[in-house]
Amino acid sequence: MEKHYFQPEIETMSQEEIRKIQSEKLVKQVKHVWDNVPCYRAKMEEKGVTPDDIKSIDDLHKLPFITKDDLRDQYPYGFLAVPQSECVRIQSTSGTTGRRVVAFYTQDDVNIWDECCARAIVAAGGTKDDVVHVSYGYGLFTGGPGLNGGSHMLGSLTLPMSSGNTDRQLQFMTDLGSTILCCTPSYAAYLGESARDRGILDQIKLKAGIFGAEAWTEEMRHEIEELLGIKAYDIYGLTEISGPGVSFECEEQRGMHINEDHFAAEIINPETGEVLPEGEKGELVFTCLDKAAFPLLRYRTRDITVLTREKCSCGRTHVRMRKPMGRSDDMLIVKGVNVFPSQIETVLLNNNYAPQYQIIVDRINHSDTIEVHVEMTEEMYADKSVSKESRERKLQAALKSMLGILVDVVLLAPKSIVRSEGKAVRIVDKRNLYKS
């Protein structure tokens, strides 16, 4: 099978070459940050580190971490490392859990980001002949602008749809023959459902999807692939580090290659900060090696994953990260038990429910309660031979066996959960545990 790369000379270079590039870039980057970001310089001084101590990528562990709280404390300009007049763009996080984080970009930073997204599109089989349908939100969210930039750089016909207006999405998709869909996995499932309901699935020419920005399971991947008749590729990224394209899946669909010439990755123990060896599960930490405006060093993502340097059949040599297995901060602790929403999703899909659900956690009389609201499929809803109560009991038992705790299950009629056009709202935690 012929292999396709956007930049073969970079994507297939040897480990030695990657480390050499990382070392050269890191030495320069640390000087740049030391000279231009007083709050990080203070952190380095506190740790007794100077730029002279950083001679290669092997010295990365000597540098202090940056956390989301640091970014919030320094909002908005504290981590800006170039004069504002050199910046051409900002993007921002949604700020649902506190103050927004604003990331700045020079034109070169935007080019790096576009290049990363172009690599992702090519890895999903994209060429300049494709019609790339971008249904991630545009604006402050990085999803739309990121994939849009990558598609332009590749020279594909780019449809800047943004999210929402499902009728228009489907009309453009069929009229213009979109071949690659980029959006959140939950919106892809919704678009698929809507196309099926309108009886137009056979008019859709999609061959691939590039889905990310939220956690999704293998079961959900299969469901979307089957519904839309496509291959569904995962893509990962975060605003602080640039946006989508920090890592992406290739045709192997077994982990996402990190663009290591731009971002150095480490896995740490989230409790102690100690760097863990390859193959161990822990918190992912990124260092931006060549971004100028917002060059975060050792940024703690809170995403829990595993890195592997096992050979990939696609020929890419860049390290792979497993699909994030949860976040060290939004993992739910219910009745003292750690609950990852992805475990619940796996049970629901294995039991043939639709990937439309909400987890509602509350605390009543000092005791945690957890309810899973999930939609029945049309077939289940129509089939009156099995009672709703009996279905609920069966699902409750399956969840108990996965999670070890009793969960209240509420089955709903099809289409009763409000659809999201961006990231799905999966968790409603009414306990306010993190408010002081």
Residues 6+ apart with CB under 8 A from 349: 217, 219, 220, 223, 355
SS3 at position 233: strand
Residue 192 or 245: the one with the smaller Cβ distance to ligand DLL is 245
Residue 243 or 295: the one with the smaller Cβ distance to ligand DLL is 243
The nearest distance, CB 141 to ligand DLL, in angstroms, is 6
The nearest distance, CB 115 to ligand DLL, in angstroms, is 16
Q: Which residues bind ligand DLL (CB under 6 A)?
A: 93, 136, 142-143, 212-215, 234-239, 243-244, 301, 303, 323-324, 327
Residue 8 or 139: the one with the smaller Cβ distance to ligand DLL is 139
The nearest distance, CB 284 to ligand DLL, in angstroms, is 8
Residues 6+ apart with CB under 8 A from 259: 116, 119, 245, 246, 247, 318
Residue 26 or 120: the one with the smaller Cβ distance to ligand DLL is 120
CA of residue 19 relative to chain centroid, distance: 25
Nearest to 373 by CA among 397, 392, 390, 350: 392
Name the E strands within 62-106: 87-92, 102-106
Residue 243 or 282: the one with the smaller Cβ distance to ligand DLL is 243
Written as one letter, the residue type at 175 is D
- Phi and psi based region of residue 54 (left: phi greater than 0; alpha: psi -120 to 50; beta: remaining): beta
The nearest distance, CB 142 to ligand DLL, in angstroms, is 5
The nearest distance, CB 265 to ligand DLL, in angstroms, is 13
CA of residue 25 relative to chain centroid, distance: 25
DSSP string, 281-293: -EEEEEEESS-SS
Question: Whole-angstrom Cα distance, residue 383 to residue 12?
Answer: 53
The nearest distance, CB 247 to ligand DLL, in angstroms, is 8
* Residues making up the chain, counted from first to last: 436
Residue 212 or 255: the one with the smaller Cβ distance to ligand DLL is 212
Residue with tokens 């297995």: 325
Residue 192 or 212: the one with the smaller Cβ distance to ligand DLL is 212
The nearest distance, CB 272 to ligand DLL, in angstroms, is 21
Token pair belonging to 395: 């699902």
- First-to-last C-alpha distance (Å) of the chain: 57
The nearest distance, CB 53 to ligand DLL, in angstroms, is 29
Please say whether the dihedral angle defined by the alpha carbons of residues 24, 27, 31 and 33, taken in this order, is positive or negative. positive
The nearest distance, CB 137 to ligand DLL, in angstroms, is 9
Instruction: For residue 102, list its beta bridge partners.
Output: 92
Q: By beta-carbon distance, which residue lies closest to ligand DLL? A: 212
Residue 304 or 403: the one with the smaller Cβ distance to ligand DLL is 304
Instruction: For residue 208, list its beta bridge partners.
Output: 180, 231
CA of residue 64 relative to chain centroid, distance: 24
